[in-house]
Chain A
């Protein structure tokens, strides 16, 4: 099983460019999440989707949009990239949104904005 797959693994953007980070899970999980991790820091929640058809803001949603395309896929879009968005982005999924166990994370997308 692939688990949670994120694409691309690496990306360099120029300030002002846009891009979409893709995430797909094959575990039939209901909930999906986007986190960012800056150097030496913990993970901060950007957006989450408790179930197909719903999305909600996390701690640091500014500058991002999300789409829960179907039960498997949850994408994160940067409309106008800024250097402050240079980070490692992790997608995760879980069977249910209100339990803290069983989150499965992808391997991350390393984004640099210059």
Chain B
């Protein structure tokens, strides 16, 4: 699976959009980009995933560049409860390496 690179930490003001970047320059054609988050002391929570088209659900939007080498998770109106570590993961569905691998992620702190 492709390695992903994320900034270790980011800040965001409450009510503003939080844009979390992720680089995955070695991503292969069959690897999806997945985002999870982990609120302090809890287990990770699935947010969204995509292959090459932009995706939106009730939690967030995912923007993937045309060359698929990077992506951005957007939380449109961040709240204090969105303070968490956000993980970007590249994973090939249907592959033989069944390991959803969590790196260190980005600690997003939403400030009042």
Residue numbers of A with Cβ under 8 A of B are 4, 33, 35, 40-45, 48, 50, 56, 58-59, 90, 92, 97-108
Contact = CB atoms under 8 A, between A and B. Distances in A.
Most buried by B among A100, A101, A102, A104: A100
B43 A90 contact: yes
Given A99-B93, A100-B93, A107 B104 contact: no
Contacts of A102: 46
Contacts of B49: 100-101
B44 interface: yes
B112 interface: no
Contacts of A56: 98
Contacts of A103: 36, 44, 46, 100
Most buried by B among A43, A56, A90, A107: A43
A106 to B, nearest CB: 6
B104 A42 contact: yes
A48 B105 CA distance: 22
Nearest to B94: A98
A98 B93 contact: yes
11 contacts: A35-B102, A42-B101, A42-B102, A43-B44, A48-B98, A90-B44, A100-B89, A100-B100, A101-B32, A105-B43, A108-B42
Interface residues of B, number: 24
Nearest to A96: B93
B34 A101 contact: yes
Contact of B98 (A35, A97, A105): A97
B95 interface: yes
B27 to A, nearest CB: 13
A107 B42 contact: yes
Nearest to A56: B98
Nearest to B104: A42
A108 B87 contact: no
Contact of A42 (B46, B87, B98): B87
A110 to B, nearest CB: 9
Interface string B50-92: 0000000000000000000000000000000000000101010
